[in-house]
Structure 1
């Protein structure tokens, strides 16, 4: 699933470890999400959205059509 986690984290000037600590996961989990190798649970998606003060939809694009179209 495409996401904006790395861009938002970079804009905030925090490390993967800092973000991981803020939302209660490991740095490896944040790395896997940013590399689109792991889709977060709904609970973690809510925690990330809360951390960045945005909606889940602002962070994640599920590409439900499977065609890459926006």
Structure 2
């Protein structure tokens, strides 16, 4: 028997908040200010995995440049 793993194509704001260890309010503010990109899907916001990676990479670079 073969098990099929379905890979998620996008995440909810709540899921991204949990992944980043942020509160929901902070994550929503990151979206509002454009620091974290998202897609409007009807009444909801969806965040692509690559958008999360972009945000994390940018924050890491900023932290590294600030400590140099």
User: Which has the higher Rg, Structure 1 or Structure 2?
Assistant: 2
> Per chain length, whose mean CA-contact separation is higher, i.e. which structure has more relative contact order (CA < 8 Å, sep 6+)?
1
Compare the two structures and name the one with the higher strand fraction.
2
TM class by smaller structure: 0.3 to 0.5
TM-score by length of 2: 0.39
